[in-house]
Amino acid sequence: MNCLIFCHPDKINFVFEHLLAGELVFLFLGKPLGFAVTPLFLIVGAFWGFAPDILSYFLNRKLNYRSKFFHLHRDNLSHSIFLPLIIFLVILLIGGWKDSLLASLAALTHPLLDLFGIGYGVKLFLPFSNKTYKLFYRGKFIYVMRDNAAVEREVCRIGEDDWFDRSYITFNDKGLSWWWGVFEWTCLIIAINLPIFYFLK
């Protein structure tokens, strides 16, 4: 099974679980930090979990997000682990340390999730290093560091132009897509329903 992960590195990408990850950070840390968990509070969490992709969209507007070069959206500061640090410092200046801690932790989940298993990896230490990092699970976690040329060779060899449709819209039986698709949509449904739950509560 893990071979599939190796064979189809970018067949599937994380999108929706970023929303949920941000919400979960706010949900579980919000109360201990003295915040009231409200629908809006959770939506703000989802925003911060997704924020690196939003920032990347503005930094990388020429990129075709549905092409096999989608992974390039991670090749800028938006997906560096220094972004959460910047967010922490900026919010610290205008708000309290609790707000900045929550926002930066929610934003930090983004590159860490992108690092995992599938996808072409993340340039975690931009602008100081251009290396791409990636984690696989094969019985134990295997950590890989690749240069740009190696990533591009892989993209040209096995990249899929219709990766979004194949992973999110068509529940096909090739590789991991179907269960990943189900997982992704489940994340989205939970992410939408959590604020609704707190709204009705």
The contact set with Zn ion (CB under 5 A) reads: 53, 114
SS3 for 142? Answer: strand
Cis peptide upstream of residue 84 (ω within 30 degrees of 0): no
CB 137, CB 5: distance < 8 Å: yes
Q: How far is the CB of 22 from Zn ion (least distance, A)?
A: 12
The CA angle 157-111-135, to the nearest 5 degrees, is 55
**Whose Cβ is closer to Zn ion: residue 57's or residue 137's?**
57
Residue 145 forms beta bridges with which residues? 133
**Whose Cβ is closer to Zn ion: residue 88's or residue 120's?**
120
140 φ, ψ to 5°?
A: -135, 170
Q: How far is the CB of 109 from Zn ion (least distance, A)?
A: 11
d(CA 102, CA 45): 8
d(CA 164, CA 162): 6
**Whose Cβ is closer to Zn ion: residue 10's or residue 114's?**
114
Q: How far is the CB of 55 from Zn ion (least distance, A)?
A: 9
Q: Please identify the residue of the shown chain whose CB is closest to the bound Zn ion.
A: 53
**Whose Cβ is closer to Zn ion: residue 185's or residue 199's?**
185
Q: How far is the CB of 110 from Zn ion (least distance, A)?
A: 6
**Whose Cβ is closer to Zn ion: residue 23's or residue 53's?**
53
Q: How far is the CB of 61 from Zn ion (least distance, A)?
A: 15
